[in-house]
Structure formats: C-alpha cells, structure tokens
Structure 1
Amino acid sequence: MRIIGEIPNPNCKITLYSWNNRYLIKLEQGFLEQTYKIDQFELTSENDLQKIVNTEFINDALSRFDAMATSLQRSLESI
C-alpha cells in the first residue's frame, strides 16, 4: 500500500492510498475510521481524488462519524 497524499482537515485525518489497482480514501477520527475504495480505472488521474473529497463528501463523512460513535456508545453501554 502506497500513500499518495493527505488532505488537511481539522476534524479528521484524510489519507489517500494506491493499492491493488484501487485508490483508497481513508478518514480517521479517534478510534473510528472510514475507508472508500475506488477502482483506479474509474479515474483519469490521482488528482481526481481531490475532486471526490470535496466539502460535501467530508461533511457527510463527519456526520457518519457522529452516527458511528453513537452506535458504538450504545452497544458498549449494553454490556
């Protein structure tokens, strides 16, 4: 797996990878992470990843992190 870049964001760490003919977009926030896999042949260049990871994409991912944290907290409270 090769790191091809990072996208600065104050709310989560965003790392871009190239691996097995795929691009991976990995977002990390604390103990939670989200990974999106995109076939390399769907994009014309690595620069297209910057277009995918736009403000709307990041805001949706941050909302998902909130939902993930809530779900995990509920599950932990049930044990």
Structure 2
Amino acid sequence: LLCVLGTIPGPILFGVAIDNSCTLWDFNECETKGACLVYDNGRMAYLLMGISTACKIITIIFVFTAECLYKPP
C-alpha cells in the first residue's frame, strides 16, 4: 500500500504540470493532440517548484505529527 501511494501520484502530478505548461501542441492528421512543441519555461518552473514545495510541506507536517504522537515501548 505504501509503495502504491508513494510512487503512483508523483509522475501523474508532474506530467499534468508539464502538460499545463505547453503553449503550442502538435496536431496530427486525425486532429488529435500529439507532442508539445513549445513550453512556457517560467510557468513550468513555478508549477514544478510548487508541487515539490507542497510535497515537502506535507512531509514535514507528517514527520512532526509522528514525532508528537510517538510513544516509546
């Protein structure tokens, strides 16, 4: 359970952030969205840094909570 919760959401969040920073998509002959041709580097930097910072803050909160609630045997 821990491996699933720790490894699956990360790539999805970063993938969404990278897709949201695209400014020009390549469309194929079927008019379906293909690869990104141009990225907004500033937007991508803010999105990726925001995700990383949010994850770090959540981690710090859980570590402090665990420290406060821990009862030695």
TM-score (norm 2): 0.39
Rg comparison, structure with higher value:
2
| Structure (1 or 2) with the greater strand fraction | 1
Higher helix share: 2
TM-score normalised by the chain length of structure 1: 0.37
